[in-house]
């Protein structure tokens, strides 16, 4: 077999795949096959050039992308993914630090702090009334500023030199304190996962050589969004062989606000003389109309190199403009659109609703729930951010790293054990002066707190020791179960939270997640599980298997594609976002974000504008986004002058939407389904949990459970009207919607 499969690549793509030596830059528009080329190149290197997978390192933007790439490669060349390194910058950083962090004083099992942990650490610092904290109004701003410094690779000393005023200078001092606290807690924050390896490489040339000699080929996807520290990381890792292959699109650079530098891609040839530049101009994703519209919009940006993107695809349908009265009507129109697309034969997983800000999801969710369209939201409060999940994970982290102060503070008094803030602060100070973790201090018994507190702290330690021992001998799921049991955590939830039931479900879900982890990972220890959890990002939660409609922000949609994309909230001030309106660079970044959104669509693109929107409690009249006017008329249908211009006549029977505020009732569609039952065979249906069905007698419902198989296949359905019933599928007059 020859790699790559030449017939599936065009000439330019083939060149990008087979130009293996030296620096190569693929700069090309959306949907031109950059990610595909990157994957094929690995296949080519291993399959044709006989490069060992051990010598290849590839960076993807998300863990999910890494996993997909690994799976694809595995299908093409079984066994390849074991020694190949494919992952995000952060995941790669962790791997390196676990191996060699000790060289710069990082213990092997450090805790990883996410943004919330970092915030808690800073809040605690500020609450200690340090004089530097006086001018700092928002711990969040402080955290983000520190993060920016780190991503610009500025140590406190350098940040101090650059500080513009007193407030910034104080922030730098707090940055220093924050670093000390992290060190004391034997923890790294998220940025450190890249900062520290770069530091390691700069201090220990031999370690840098170890990696850069190993990685003969380094590949980077979404290169336009790298920040300076990531760039330094890439540079170090590719320094020995210099076979650096990067792909990206300057028109899709959307993380400038987080410190990414589009200059990295624009000046790549300057940084790496002798670079082979390859342009891909053919788009394989979208229809001609969608591409025409997107090309036109992005051409309004001045700060760009410009490129020519074309497609051989059909002209396709026009972009549809949907105008609504307000956000509720907008949500109903989105539902209508979705239902009509499902009627057309699209599946829910083929459709994505994108928006600029997370807050917009609320109205959409309400209506989708009422319309019984199963959906997933990417990037709202994620599972791992829920209080109960964080509590249990804090126990886990403390078990793996007793020095982890943020975790200790979180749970030492949860469930309540009479160990209040003052007691904990006292314990902390004493422990710090002895240079030992708080748990060790408690074990020594050499501290002076009230008798009751002392007794309680001893009890806490006893539980902790039991769990610690358990973690050494068994896998994560069992440890988590034991935490819940030993601390009587569910009782605590029941007694303190009116919504305990759903919280208990989440706790159980965490056990299930750890069990699933054990099924797919050889190393299922608590430590390994924690590492996986720490690196999870919002987009990783995206699940195509479940057949759900996807809701997410435009930022999260990068790199993805859907048959149909609906972009909601195209209003001045919302998109483009008001924070960007008086700054040309930021406005152009918003336009690039719109371009990213439009180019996610393969066949259908809907753009939605609401005349009024509730913002911060006020109802405001809205002006259509300038981006709408940038789409040539030939590409778009609809009319932004009127309200409700959307062709309701076609869809009129879908929704009985006469009641302006009332729930949309899906009537027509369901009735039509009923007529089709006669010639319908149950044997062809694969029922899956979450699937939407229509039952002749009970109406619409969602599949909750699937048991048995063949003739004995039983399906439990939760019906819209509230009842839950179980059927033998073969005989039930029902079918998927
Ligand atoms: N030569 C080809 N023939 C057929 N389909 C292709 C070809 N190259 C790419 N594709 C398909 O086109 C789509 C877009 O490819 P891909 O996601 O790799 O583009 P991209 O340049 O990475 O896009 P983005 O800029 O959005 O990240 C995918 O569905 C891919 O399978
Ligand atoms: Mg891509």
Position 239 pLDDT exceeds 60: yes
Helix (H, G, I), strand (E, B) or coil at 461: helix
Residues in the chain: 737
Q: Is 252 a catalytic residue?
A: yes
Exactly one of 600, 613, 626, 700 is catalytic; which is it?
A: 600
Residue ranges, CATH 1.10.486.10, the chain: 413-520
Task: Out of 35, 72, 286, 597, give the residue to mutate to test ligand 1, the one with the largest number of ligand atoms within 8 Å of its CB.
Answer: 35
Long-range contacts for 462-467 (Cβ within 8 Å, ≥24 apart)? Answer: 463/487, 464/398, 464/399, 464/439, 467/395, 467/399
Q: What ligand 1 atom has the least distance to the C-alpha of 249? A: 25
Position 634 pLDDT exceeds 90: no
Residues 175, 183 contacting (CB under 8 angstroms): no
Which contiguous run of DSSP H or E holds residue 670? helix 668-675
Mean pLDDT of the region 43-65: 91
Phi, then psi, of 302 in degrees rounded to 5: -85, -40
b vs e for 346-363, b when ≥16 Cβ sit within 10 Å of the residue's Cβ? Answer: bebbbbbbbbbebebbeb
413-520: CATH topology is PCRA; domain 4 (1.10.486)
Residues 6+ apart with CB under 8 A from 422: none
Position 125 pLDDT exceeds 60: yes
* pLDDT for the residue numbered 485: 95
Position 675 pLDDT exceeds 80: no
* pLDDT for the residue numbered 82: 74
Signed CA dihedral, 626, 629, 630, 631: sign only: positive
Nearest 10 degrees: CA dihedral of 187, 191, 195, 196?
20
* pLDDT for the residue numbered 662: 25
Q: Is 525 a catalytic residue?
A: no
Burial (0-12, 13-18, 19+ Cβ within 10 Å), 24: buried
Residue ranges, CATH 3.40.50.300, the chain: 6-99+195-278, 288-382+543-651
Query: In angstroms, rounded to a whole number, what is the distance separating the alpha carbons of residues 241 and 718?
Result: 59
Tens of pLDDT, residue by residue over 344-388, are: 999 999 999 999 998 888 889 888 988 889 999 887 667 788 899
Whether residue 478 has its Cβ less than 6 Å from ligand 1:
no
Residues 186, 107 contacting (CB under 8 angstroms): yes
Query: In angstroms, rounded to a whole number, what is the distance separating the alpha carbons of residues 585 and 22?
Result: 33
Tens of pLDDT, residue by residue over 161-194, are: 888 888 888 889 999 999 999 999 999 999 999 9
Whether residue 33 has its Cβ less than 6 Å from ligand 1:
yes
Exactly one of 39, 62, 252, 287 is catalytic; which is it?
A: 252
Mean pLDDT of the region 88-117: 94
- CATH classification of 111-185, choosing from 3.40.50.10860, 3.40.50.620, 1.10.10.160, 3.30.460.80? 1.10.10.160
* pLDDT for the residue numbered 618: 64
pLDDT classification of 734: cutoffs 50, 70, 90? confident
Poorest-pLDDT segment among 269-273, 606-610, 709-713: 709-713
* pLDDT for the residue numbered 687: 85
* pLDDT for the residue numbered 560: 93
Query: In angstroms, rounded to a whole number, what is the distance separating the alpha carbons of residues 160 and 156?
Result: 6
Mean pLDDT of the region 137-166: 88
Position 646 pLDDT exceeds 70: no
Q: Whose CA is nearest to atom 8 of ligand 1?
A: 33
Query: In angstroms, rounded to a whole number, what is the distance separating the alpha carbons of residues 183 and 681?
Result: 64
Position 725 pLDDT exceeds 60: yes
Whether residue 4 has its Cβ less than 6 Å from ligand 1:
no
| pLDDT over 70 percentage in the chain | 90
| pLDDT over 90 percentage in the chain | 56
* CATH classification code of 668-736: 2.40.10.170
What is the SS3 assignment for 311-327? CCCCCCCCEEEEEECCH
Q: Ligand 2 centroid to 560 CA: how many Å? A: 7
Query: Where do we find the tokens 């979180």?
Result: 410
Residue ranges, CATH 1.10.10.160, the chain: 111-185
Query: In angstroms, rounded to a whole number, what is the distance separating the alpha carbons of residues 588 and 304?
Result: 10
Domain spanning 6-99+195-278: CATH 3.40.50.300: yes
Task: Tell me the residue ranges of DSSP E strands in 80-156.
Answer: 85-87, 111-113
Selection from 471, 22, 60 nearest residue 272 by Cα: 22
Position 620 pLDDT exceeds 80: no
Mean pLDDT of the region 603-628: 83
Which contiguous run of DSSP H or E holds residue 629? helix 626-629
Q: Ligand 2 centroid to 159 CA: how many Å? A: 34
DSSP one-letter code for 664: P
**Alpha helix locations (H) across 577-620?**
584-598
Residue ranges, CATH 2.40.10.170, the chain: 668-736
Residues 483, 467 contacting (CB under 8 angstroms): yes
Selection from 328, 292, 331 nearest residue 309 by Cα: 292
Q: Is 704 a catalytic residue?
A: no
Tens of pLDDT, residue by residue over 355-366, are: 999 888 888 988
Tens of pLDDT, residue by residue over 413-433, are: 999 998 998 999 999 999 999
Structure tokens at 341: 């697309």
Mean pLDDT of the region 84-97: 94
Query: In angstroms, rounded to a whole number, what is the distance separating the alpha carbons of residues 724 and 713?
Result: 17
Q: What ligand 1 atom has the least distance to the C-alpha of 37? A: 18
Considering the domain 288-382+543-651, what is its CATH architecture? 3-Layer(aba) Sandwich (3.40)
* pLDDT for the residue numbered 47: 87
Burial (0-12, 13-18, 19+ Cβ within 10 Å), 578: exposed
Q: Ligand 2 centroid to 171 CA: how many Å? A: 38
Position 501 pLDDT exceeds 60: yes
* pLDDT for the residue numbered 231: 96
Residues 355, 589 contacting (CB under 8 angstroms): no
Structure tokens at 702: 């969602």
pLDDT classification of 258: cutoffs 50, 70, 90? confident
Position 458 pLDDT exceeds 90: yes
Position 407 pLDDT exceeds 90: yes
Exactly one of 40, 117, 177, 222 is catalytic; which is it?
A: 222
Residues 449, 457 contacting (CB under 8 angstroms): yes
Q: What ligand 1 atom has the least distance to the C-alpha of 284? A: 12
Exactly one of 189, 221, 330, 589 is catalytic; which is it?
A: 221
Query: In angstroms, rounded to a whole number, what is the distance separating the alpha carbons of residues 296 and 630?
Result: 7
Q: What ligand 1 atom has the least distance to the C-alpha of 559? A: 27
Among 137-146, 397-406, 443-452, which range has the highest average pLDDT? 397-406
Query: In angstroms, rounded to a whole number, what is the distance separating the alpha carbons of residues 439 and 461?
Result: 7
Query: In angstroms, rounded to a whole number, what is the distance separating the alpha carbons of residues 261 and 277?
Result: 19
Phi, then psi, of 353 in degrees rounded to 5: -105, 120
CA atoms within 13 A on the CB side of 10: 13
Task: Out of 6, 222, 285, give the residue to mutate to test ligand 1, the one with the largest number of ligand atoms within 8 Å of its CB.
Answer: 285
Q: What is the average pLDDT score of the chain?
A: 86
Dump the DSSP string for 500-561. Answer: HHHHHHHHHHHHHHHHHHHHH-S--SHHHHHHHHHH--GGGG--TTTT-EEEEETGGGTT--
Q: Ligand 2 centroid to 580 CA: how many Å? A: 26
* pLDDT for the residue numbered 663: 25
Whether residue 285 has its Cβ less than 6 Å from ligand 1:
yes
Name the more confident of 668 and 713.
713
Query: In angstroms, rounded to a whole number, what is the distance separating the alpha carbons of residues 736 and 670?
Result: 11
pLDDT classification of 4: cutoffs 50, 70, 90? low
Name the more confident of 737 and 377.
377
Q: Is 344 a catalytic residue?
A: no
pLDDT classification of 130: cutoffs 50, 70, 90? low
Whether residue 596 has its Cβ less than 6 Å from ligand 1:
no
Structure tokens at 134: 């006086």
Query: In angstroms, rounded to a whole number, what is the distance separating the alpha carbons of residues 154 and 146?
Result: 9
Closest ligand to the CA of 600: 1
Task: Out of 31, 222, 286, give the residue to mutate to test ligand 1, the one with the largest number of ligand atoms within 8 Å of its CB.
Answer: 31
pLDDT classification of 653: cutoffs 50, 70, 90? very low
Query: Where do we find the tokens 């002066």?
Result: 433
* pLDDT for the residue numbered 134: 66
Nearest 10 degrees: CA dihedral of 625, 627, 633, 639?
-20
Position 667 pLDDT exceeds 60: no
Query: In angstroms, rounded to a whole number, what is the distance separating the alpha carbons of residues 479 and 239?
Result: 43
Name the more confident of 612 and 554.
554
User: What are the percentages of helix, strand and coil residues in the chain, rounded to 5?
Assistant: 50, 15, 35
Position 655 pLDDT exceeds 50: no
Residues 6+ apart with CB under 8 A from 527: 109, 400
């Amino acid at each position: 077999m020859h790699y790559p499969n030449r017939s599936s690549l065009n000439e330019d793509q083939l060149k990008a795949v087979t130009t293996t030596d030296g620096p190569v830059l693929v700069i090309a528009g959306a949907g031109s096959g950059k990610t595909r080329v990157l994957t094929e190149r690995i296949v080519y290197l291993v399959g044709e050039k006989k490069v060992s997978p051990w010598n290849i390192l590839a960076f993807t933007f998300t863990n999910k992308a890494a996993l997909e790439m690994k799976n694809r490669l595995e299908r093409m060349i079984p066994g390849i993914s074991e020694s190949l390194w494919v992952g995000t910058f952060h995941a790669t950083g962790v791997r390196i630090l676990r191996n060699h962090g000790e060289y710069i004083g990082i213990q092997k099992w450090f805790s990883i702090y996410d943004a919330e942990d970092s915030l808690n650490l800073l809040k605690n610092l500020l609450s200690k009334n340090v004089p530097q904290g006086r001018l700092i109004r928002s711990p969040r701003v402080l955290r983000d500023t520190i993060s920016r410094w780190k991503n610009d690779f500025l140590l406190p000393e350098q940040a101090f030199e650059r500080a513009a005023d007193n407030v910034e200078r104080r922030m730098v001092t707090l940055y220093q304190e924050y670093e000390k606290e992290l060190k004391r807690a034997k923890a790294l924050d998220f940025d450190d996962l890249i900062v520290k390896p770069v530091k390691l490489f700069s201090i220990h040339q031999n370690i840098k050589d170890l990696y850069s000699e190993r990685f003969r080929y380094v590949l980077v996807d979404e290169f336009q969004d790298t920040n300076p520290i990531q760039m330094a990381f890439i540079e170090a890792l590719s320094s020995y062989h210099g076979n650096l292959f990067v792909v990206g699109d300057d028109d899709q650079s959307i993380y400038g606000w987080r410190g990414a530098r589009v200059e990295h891609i624009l000046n790549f040839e300057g940084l790496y003389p002798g670079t082979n530049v390859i342009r891909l101009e053919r788009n394989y994703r979208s229809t001609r109309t969608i591409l025409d519209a997107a090309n036109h919009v992005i051409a309004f940006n001045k700060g760009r190199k410009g490129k020519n993107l074309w497609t051989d695809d059909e002209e396709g349908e026009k972009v549809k403009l949907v105008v609504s009265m307000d956000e509720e009507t907008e949500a109903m129109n989105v539902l209508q659109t979705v239902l009509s697309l499902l009627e057309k034969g699209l599946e829910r997983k083929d459709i994505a609703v994108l928006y600029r800000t997370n807050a917009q999801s609320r109205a959409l969710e309400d209506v989708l729930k009422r319309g019984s369209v199963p959906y997933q939201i990417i990037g709202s409060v994620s599972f791992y951010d829920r209080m109960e999940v964080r509590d249990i994970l804090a126990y886990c982290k403390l078990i793996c790293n007793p020095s982890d102060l943020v975790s200790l503070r979180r749970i030492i008094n949860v469930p309540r054990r009479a160990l209040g803030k003052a007691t904990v602060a006292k314990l902390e100070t004493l422990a710090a002066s002895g240079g030992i973790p708080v748990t060790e201090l408690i074990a020594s018994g050499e501290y002076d707190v009230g008798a009751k507190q002392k007794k309680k702290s001893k009890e806490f330690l006893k539980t902790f020791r039991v769990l610690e021992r358990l973690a050494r001998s068994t896998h994560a799921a069992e440890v988590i179960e034991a935490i819940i049991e030993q601390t009587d955590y569910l009782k605590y939830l029941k007694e303190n939270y009116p919504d305990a039931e759903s919280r208990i479900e989440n706790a159980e879900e965490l056990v299930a997640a750890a069990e699933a982890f054990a099924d797919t990972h050889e190393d299922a220890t608590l430590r390994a599980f924690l590492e996986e959890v720490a690196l999870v990002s919002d987009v990783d939660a995206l699940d195509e298997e479940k057949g759900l409609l996807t809701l997410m922000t435009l930022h999260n949609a990068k790199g993805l594609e859907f048959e149909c994309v609906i972009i909601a909230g195209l209003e001045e001030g919302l998109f483009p976002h008001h924070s960007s309106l008086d700054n040309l660079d930021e406005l152009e970044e918003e336009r690039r974000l719109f371009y990213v959104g439009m180019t996610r669509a393969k066949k259908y693109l809907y753009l939605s504008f609401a005349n009024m929107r509730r913002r911060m409690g006020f109802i405001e009249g809205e002006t259509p986004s300038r981006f709408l006017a940038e789409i040539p008329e030939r590409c778009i249908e609809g009319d932004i002058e009127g309200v409700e211009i959307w062709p309701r006549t076609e869809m009129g029977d879908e929704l009985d939407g006469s009641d302006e505020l009332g729930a949309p009732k899906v009537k027509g569609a369901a009735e039509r389904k009923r007529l089709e039952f006669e010639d319908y065979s149950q044997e062809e249906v694969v029922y899956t949990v979450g699937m939407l069905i229509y039952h002749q007698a009970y109406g619409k419902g969602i599949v909750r459970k699937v048991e048995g198989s063949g003739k004995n296949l039983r399906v439990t359905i939760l019906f819209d009207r509230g009842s839950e019933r179980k059927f033998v599928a073969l005989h039930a007059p029902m079918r998927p919607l």
